[in-house]
Structure 1
Amino acid sequence: MNVNQGFRIIPPEKEINQPSGSTYLMDVFDNELLDLIDEQIINQGYFSIDEHGADILQKYPYFLKLKEVRLIPAIEKLLDRQITQLIKVHSDGSFSFLITRIEETHKYSFLLNDELNVHQSVKMILSRLLPLAMLFDKFGQKYPGISGIVPFFYGDKGRGLGSVLCYDSNFDHHLLLPDSDFLYRYAYQDFKDQLATQSIPWEARQEILYWRGSATGDKKDDHKWRMMPRFQLCQFATEVANKDLFDIKITRITNRFSSEEVIAEIKNSGLTAPYAAAIDQVNYKYLIDLDGHGSTWTGLFLRLLTGSTVLKVNSERGFRQWFHDRLIPWENYVPVKSDFSDLEETVVYLKNNDELAHKIGSAGGELAYSMTLENEINYALPVIFQCLDNNKDLQSI
C-alpha cells in the first residue's frame, strides 16, 4: 500500500480481505498479534515488547516505544470516575497501556458487559487500544520530557467523568481522538485503493438514497426492535410516496438480539437484505448516515470518500467524533431531522438540483481525503497534551 508518502508508518503485512465496509474492527485486526498479547496478559499479567520485539516491530514500527500492556488492580478513585483504561506517558518518550482488573463488579453499575471479565474482553479492548500507539509514538517527539497519565475509554460512546480521551462521545468534557478504525486502516487506504479503480462518474450513479447497515442502537427489549431508529428508517422508506428514490435495508442482525422469535420476525419483516460491500455505494448519488450505538465511525467516513452526497441524520443523543466540527451543513453534507420528517422532501430537492448535490458530494469527498493519517495524528497530539494537563492529579498512580 502507498500510505502517506514521507510519513514513517508501515502497514501490517496482512491485507484486509474482509468486506471494506465493516464497522467491526475485530473483523480486520491482526488476530495473531491479539492472541500473543492476550496469552501473555493471561499468563503473567502483562505484555512487554522487549520480549517479543523483532517480529512485531518489523510489522508495527510504531510499537517501538510501547513499554508494556499491563493489567492493574482496581483503583477506587478511577472507578468513581468510571475509568477503566489508562495510558501512561513516560518522560523518555515511551508509553504503557494499562487495563484495570475489576473484581467486585457489583459495585460498579456503569460497567459494560464485556468489561465484567477482563480476560474475556481483553481482545476487544486491545483492538481499540493498540492503534493509539501511532499517536503516542509521535507524542514524545513533539513534547519531549513530558510524563503523566491519561484516562481513555475504548467503547462506542464516551464514558467517564472529567477529562477523558474517547473516540466518540456526547459529553462536552470528553476529548476526541481519531478512532481506532481510522488509525488501524491507515485513513482507510484500502478503501481508497478500491475507489481508484472502481468508482464511477457522478452522471452514471443512480438517483437513489442508499443505505446498508447493521441492527445497532439502544434498546431495552428485543420485542421493541421496531422502535430503533435504523429499523424506523427502513420502515419509513417503504411508506413514502417516492419509494423509487429509496433503497434502505438492514444487513446484519447483531448478537445483542437474543430472542430467536424476534430474530425470525426481523428476517421476515421485508426490511433486511444480503450484505453489500461498501464499494457498492458508488453506484448511488445519495447516501444516508445515522447513529447506531453511537456515531458510525467507518460508515460515515467511507460514505464521504465516495463523493456521493451524504445525508446525515442529526444525532438525537448528540454523538460526535473528532472531525464532526468540520462538517458544514449544505456545504459538505446535508442535515436530516432525527425523526426523518424532512427526509423525503430533501431527497426530491437534491434530485431536482443535481448540480448542487454533486457539489456537496464532491466537497464531502475533498474533506475526507484531506484527513490523511499524518494530518490527523498531528491534530491529535495537542489533544493528548491537554488531557495530560487536565489529569495532573493522576501522576502518582
Structure 2
Amino acid sequence: MSTPTLAGPTPATGLAHDYLDIDSLLTPDEIALRARVRGFVDERIRPHVAEWFEAAHFPRELVTEMGSLGLLGMHLHGYGCAGRSAVDYGLAALELEAGDSGIRTFVSVQGSLAMSAIHRFGSDEHKQHWLPGMATGELIGCFGLTEPGAGSDPGSMTTHAVRDGDGPQADWVLTGAKRWIGLASIADVAVIWARTAHGIRGFVVPTDTPGFSATPITAKLSMRTSIQCDIALDGVRLPADAVLPDVTGLTGPFSCLNEARYGILWGALGAARDAYETALAYALERRQFAEPIAAFQLTQQKLVDMALEIQKGQLVALQTGRLKDAGRLRPEQISFGKLNNVREAIAVCHQARTVLGGNGITGEYSPLRHANNLESVRTYEGTDEIHTLIMGRALTGIPSFQARR
C-alpha cells in the first residue's frame, strides 16, 4: 500500500524560511532596512563572491557603497553616523554575512571596533577628524589589540608606549607588534592598544606615521575576501594628544570587542541561512532514484535540523538586540549568543554541504565557503573556550581563566 501524500505548505509559502514567523516580531522600519541590505548583497556581492574568495580579493570598491547605505558605524550617533538601533545593526550584519563573512567583518572592524573606540573614548578632535570620513567609507580604520603572543590574554601584551621627555606635551613612542589585524594594510588610521607606565592605553595612529607598517597575512584557508595583517611598530612617534583620553586599562578594548561580538552573533546566522537555503533549493531540484532528494527521509531530517538551529539562533539574536536597545544587555549574554550562534552556524553549513554531495566542495555553492569563514569567526573576538568561561564565571561566580594549581 502506498503512503498517501499529505497536502501541506511548500517552500514558496515562506514556512521553509521563517518557520516561527519571526518577521512578525520586527517593525516595518526594521524589515525595510533588512530589505535594502539584502538587495545590496544580492546585487553587489552574490554574483562575484565566489571569484573574490578564490582570488583572495577584498572588493574595496564596496566600501563607499556601504557608507552610502549608512552601514559604517551605523549604531553610533553624530559625526555622520546613522544612529540606528542595535537590532537594525544586527539585521544588517546577518544580511551581509549571508553574502560573505569577510564583507561583514569589514563593517565590524570599521564600525564596531575602530569607530566605536574613537567615538566612545576619543577626544572631540579625534572624533571630528576621523569619524565623518569613516562613516562614508572615505577613510578606513583598524583596531590593533591581538599580538603574536597575546590572543585570548590581551593583558599580556608586550607592545608598549613611553613618553619621550617630561611634561604633558611630551611625545609618545610606540614599539611592538600586532597580529591578525583586519584592514591594517589599507587603513588610514589604527587604534593601537599599548602598555604604558600607567596602564594599558589606546592610541590613534595615522598609518602613514613613520615606523608603522602592515603586512597582509596570505595563504589563508578562511576569510579570503577579507584582509588580516601583521603590524610592526618600530619607534612610532606620536604627539601627546594621540592617546585616547577617556579610558585606561582593558575596559576600553573589551567594550569594543563586545560591540563586535554582538554583530557576530547575528552575522553568523546569515551564513547559516544562506547555506540552508542553498541546500533546500538543491534538494528540491536534484534527483536520485527517480525522486528529488528532498523526498528522502534523511535529507528531510537534515533540513529540519538546520531550520531548527537557525530559527532558535534568530530568537537569541533578536532578544539580545532588544536587551541592548533597552540598555539592559550584560557581557555574558553577548557571550551566550556568540558561542551558541557561531557554533550552530558551523554545524548548519557542514550539514548543508552533505546535502550537496560532491558538488558541495566546489566554489559554485556557498556552504563550505561559509563553513571555512566561520572557523575564523569562531576564533576572533573570543574563542569558544573564552566565551564558555565568561558564561561559567557568570553561572558560578568563580573565574577560571587561568589554570588552577
TM-score by length of 1: 0.26
